[in-house]
Amino acid sequence: MSPTRVQHPLETPVTYIKRVGPRRANVFASLEIHTVRDLLHMYPRKYIDRRSIVKIRDLWQYVTTGTEVTVVATVRGKDIVRSYKKRERFILVVGDEQSFMDCIWFRRTRTMERLFRKGERLALSGQVTDFKGTLQMVHPSFDRLTPQKDDEDEHNWDEMFNTGRILPIYTETAEMKEVGLEGSILRSIVLHAIENYGSSVEEHLPDDILHQRNLMPYPEALPAIHFPRSGDDIHHSRQRLKYDELFFLQMLLGYRRRGARQVPGISFTVKSNLARKLIEQLPFALTDAQKRVIKDIASDMQSSKPMHRLLQGDVGSGKTIVSILSMLVAVENGYQAVFMAPTEILAVQHYTTMRQLFESIGIEPALLIGSQKKAERKPVEESVANGEAKVIIGTHALFQESVSFHKLGLIIIDEQHRFGVMQRLRLYEKAKTPEINGRAPDLLILTATPIPRTLSLTLYGDLDTSILDERPPGRKPVKTAVRSKNERDKVYVFARDEVKQGRQVYVVYPLIVQSEKIDLKAAKEGHEELQNGIFKNYTVALLHGKMSREENEDIMSRFRDGRIDVLVATTVIEVGVDVPNATLMIIEHAERFGLSQLHQLRGRVGRGSDQSYCILVHYLSPFNKAAAFNRGTFTERSLEKAEEKEKGMVRLETIASTEDGFKIAEVDLKLRGPGDFFGVRQSGYPELKLASLIDDKALLDAARTDAFTIVKHDPHLREPSHERLRRHFEHHMKPLLNLTRAG
């Protein structure tokens, strides 16, 4: 009985577009393209443009440069050839007016062979090589200019192209190709959508923003990004659509920030006797950076708005003590404080440290972790619920159903990057206990992962930030070296010398889920080899995630007390572990670790005043790309492998060359791309299709300023000039807003 809803023309299903039948619509649907609007947001990956086309006879000059070039050519011949090593390759001979070249495929040769027809026109892009005097492109990407016979197309792309049109090239998945959604067909479908529905595209941004930021109007930009008339058109339409992505992302962040601060918070009295006493009893003086950060936190805690602060400080900068002092403030005000760590080892370490520290001030911390038995856990949960436990340390087990807080005033999350954004929000929801009269507790988030500013604006755009940019005095830089497996013996002789002098050593093995069994075996064998070999007169222990908590704790406490000389471990010790007498970190198979992991691991040493070392042992054999090329043993797979190796080597060299976490993070971001970096994808934000958080800094800043201004001055978008923005936001952003508003 629902009333007929007048559909916006852009909501028309893609099946209404010419040449989109059920099969193609299904493939579109699997790509989340359901409506004309969705289709218009499937942006081209790149363009082919007459000006960027190179004639085959001019290709020689690109042979050595390695740049990607595009040629437009006609298929002249094709053949499948078997080399003497019996690997097949498919050769496609293409030519333009004057010259010929070969395109080579080593994989799926039979399929490739069937794809091309003599006489058809292609745009081919790739790197050119000179193979024994013949120009070649290995596995070029290609785009058909001639329509396929079975799919009549009234657009003559070849002619359009020849008269100077710039043609879009879309990303084509295997499924798309299977139903003919490729090349000229795909282009026609998009062009049809624009021709028939383009006039329904409306502007949604306020005029003053368009004006001030010099943005192309939306009704022009959306068609122009598909069929630009000039290079300028490409630039302006992309800028506009990038701005849109960033603007709405920042609007969401702005609302989230606002939502978080609208709830009343607790106004703590920040003069704390407990904190003062603790500081007096510390064996060191606080650094200036620590004092500054403590001031930031104190002023947040004093304020009646809830604190939402991110504390960034590189490994070893002394974040723990800062957070401990703020917990004492909460406790002195009659509230509970909770400290959440990402691993049990770390939670136990913090618990141990705090128990010692708090002894003289009469506070008994409580520990809550997943591996505790019911009988052990029950009394802890009770004391958390009745308020007896003032300082509670734990893992995410803290936020299970069975745990309820009495009067929670402060939440600290250590090594935040280990938790997802959603986890953070969930935990925050849970923390709003009724006993604090709907007031939101304060939140302090610690992270050692340096986040480039642009990225942190997005990931943590709703938080205030403090930075600990000073290490405690007397720390020497860690000497880092890269060694190949052939030099492994020497590395361990060096390790024994360190142990002889009373120092302790970590040996870390990689462990990933996919190869867990083999990895674990390698760590066990490494342990045996060292204990029975070079370290037979010393104590070597093994630590990994599959051991019981008792074993874990026993080993960590013996290592801390110096009763274990060498600790062979998997990555369980990656974050936070603090044993100042350990001065050598050996990382086995270092090529398999990510950059931030290596940085974190190295951060386990250099925590005392002695000189510390980090040795990265890699198992990479040299691979010579050029040589493989000339031997003709070059395949796509071997190229992938070579690239993996190169990336591995870049990672090792980066770690060896700097201890600056920000520099390391930037290289990491370049190698991995922002999508992977800290799982931005899982953060509950809309996906960025065009904009890059790294390359579009200026645009990001502009979008942030504009969005935050609007959220601040007209949060309900009631001003007439915001009318169309409100409609757009309600239609397309509301669900995301509800999701992110949880915080």
Return the number of the residue (281 or 304) whose C-beta is nearest ligand ADP.
281
Which of the stretches 190-198, 279-287, 515-523, 609-617 binds ligand ADP when contact is defined by CB under 6 A? 279-287
Calculate Rg over the CA atoms of the chain: 31
Q: Say whether residue 661 binds Mg ion (CB under 5 A).
A: no
**Distance of closest approach, residue 386 Cβ to ligand ADP, in angstroms:** 31
Which of the stretches 271-279, 314-322, 401-409, 563-571 binds ligand ADP when contact is defined by CB under 6 A? 314-322
Token pair recorded at residue 270: 């920040």
Q: Say whether residue 607 binds ligand ADP (CB under 6 A).
A: yes
**d(C-alpha 294, C-alpha 278), whole Å:** 14
Q: Which does 95 bind (CB under 5 to 8 A by kind): Mg ion, ligand ADP, none?
A: none
What string marks each residue from 450 to 489 as x (binds ligand ADP by CB under 6 A) or -?
Answer: ----------------------x-----------------
Q: Say whether residue 609 binds ligand ADP (CB under 6 A).
A: no
Spatial contact of 235 and 688, defined as CB atoms under 8 Å apart: no
**Distance of closest approach, residue 414 Cβ to ligand ADP, in angstroms:** 7
Q: Which does 313 bind (CB under 5 to 8 A by kind): Mg ion, ligand ADP, none?
A: ligand ADP
Return the number of the residue (180 or 472) whose C-beta is nearest ligand ADP.
472
The distance of Cα 622 from the centroid of its chain, to the nearest Å, equals 29
User: Cβ neighbours of residue 559 under 8 Å, at least 6 residues apart?
Assistant: 504, 541, 567, 579, 582
Q: Say whether residue 580 binds ligand ADP (CB under 6 A).
A: yes
What string marks each residue from 123 to 162 as x (binds ligand ADP by CB under 6 A) or -?
Answer: ----------------------------------------
Neighbours of 366 (CB within 10 A): 19
Q: Which does 418 bind (CB under 5 to 8 A by kind): ligand ADP, Mg ion, none?
A: none
Give the strand pairing for 582-587 and 504-508. parallel
Which of the stretches 228-236, 331-339, 572-580, 723-731 binds ligand ADP when contact is defined by CB under 6 A? 572-580
Return the number of the residue (323 or 454) whose C-beta is nearest ligand ADP.
323
Return the number of the residue (446 or 699) whose C-beta is nearest ligand ADP.
446
Return the number of the residue (217 or 472) whose C-beta is nearest Mg ion.
472
Q: Which does 287 bind (CB under 5 to 8 A by kind): Mg ion, ligand ADP, none?
A: ligand ADP
Q: Say whether residue 562 binds ligand ADP (CB under 6 A).
A: no
Which of the stretches 268-276, 308-316, 557-565, 713-721 binds ligand ADP when contact is defined by CB under 6 A? 308-316
Angle between helices 319-332 and 288-302 (to 10 degrees): 30
Place of tokens 């000339």: 630
- In the complex, which residue's CB is closest to ligand ADP? 318
**Distance of closest approach, residue 584 Cβ to ligand ADP, in angstroms:** 17
Alpha carbon of 334 to those of 268, 320, 436: distances in Å?
A: 10, 21, 11
**Distance of closest approach, residue 319 Cβ to Mg ion, in angstroms:** 5
Please work out the total of residues on this chain that contact Mg ion, with binding judged by CB under 5 A.
Answer: 1
Token pair recorded at residue 642: 């070579």
Return the number of the residue (369 or 711) whose C-beta is nearest Mg ion.
369
Q: Which does 286 bind (CB under 5 to 8 A by kind): ligand ADP, Mg ion, none?
A: ligand ADP
**Distance of closest approach, residue 336 Cβ to Mg ion, in angstroms:** 21
Give the strand pairing for 46-48 and 167-169. antiparallel
**Distance of closest approach, residue 331 Cβ to ligand ADP, in angstroms:** 19
Return the number of the residue (218 or 339) whose C-beta is nearest Mg ion.
339
Alpha carbon of 101 to those of 134, 378, 391, 479, 505: distances in Å?
A: 7, 75, 73, 52, 58
**Distance of closest approach, residue 243 Cβ to ligand ADP, in angstroms:** 37
Q: Interaction with ligand ADP in 175-204: which residues (CB under 6 A)?
A: none
Place of tokens 């080593």: 106
Q: Interaction with Mg ion in 526-585: which residues (CB under 5 A)?
A: 576
Whether the CA torsion 244, 246, 248, 250 is positive or negative: it is: negative
For the chain, report the end-to-end CA distance as a whole number of angstroms.
Answer: 37
Among 136, 320, 395, 596, binds ligand ADP (CB under 6 A): 320
- Residue whose C-alpha is closest to residue 127's, from 76, 192, 70, 43: 70
Backbone angles phi, psi at 127, to 5 degrees: -95, 140
Q: Which does 578 bind (CB under 5 to 8 A by kind): Mg ion, ligand ADP, none?
A: ligand ADP
Among 578, 646, 666, 714, binds ligand ADP (CB under 6 A): 578
Token pair recorded at residue 532: 């029975």
Helix (H) or strand (E) holding 597: helix 595-602
Alpha carbon of 455 to those of 459, 462, 516, 665, 694: distances in Å?
A: 6, 12, 32, 11, 7
Among 216, 315, 495, 505, binds ligand ADP (CB under 6 A): 315
**d(C-alpha 6, C-alpha 19), whole Å:** 25
Neighbours of 472 (CB within 10 A): 17
Token pair recorded at residue 562: 């110096």
Return the number of the residue (441 or 576) whose C-beta is nearest Mg ion.
576
DSSP 175: H
568 forms bridges with which residues in the sheet?
Answer: 507, 542
Return the number of the residue (251 or 357) whose C-beta is nearest ligand ADP.
357
Please work out the total of residues on this chain that contact ligand ADP, with binding judged by CB under 6 A.
Answer: 18
Return the number of the residue (315 or 340) whose C-beta is nearest ligand ADP.
315
Task: Count how many Cα atoms sit within 13 Å of the Cα of residue 432 in the half-sphere of its side chain.
Answer: 15
SS3 assignment for 201-259:
CCCCCCHHHHHHCCCCCHHHHHHHHHCCCCHHHHHHHHHHHHHHHHHHHHHHHHHHHHH
List residues binding ligand ADP (CB under 6 A): 284, 286-287, 290, 313, 315-321, 448, 472, 576, 578, 580, 607
**Residues within the interface to Mg ion (CB under 5 A):** 576
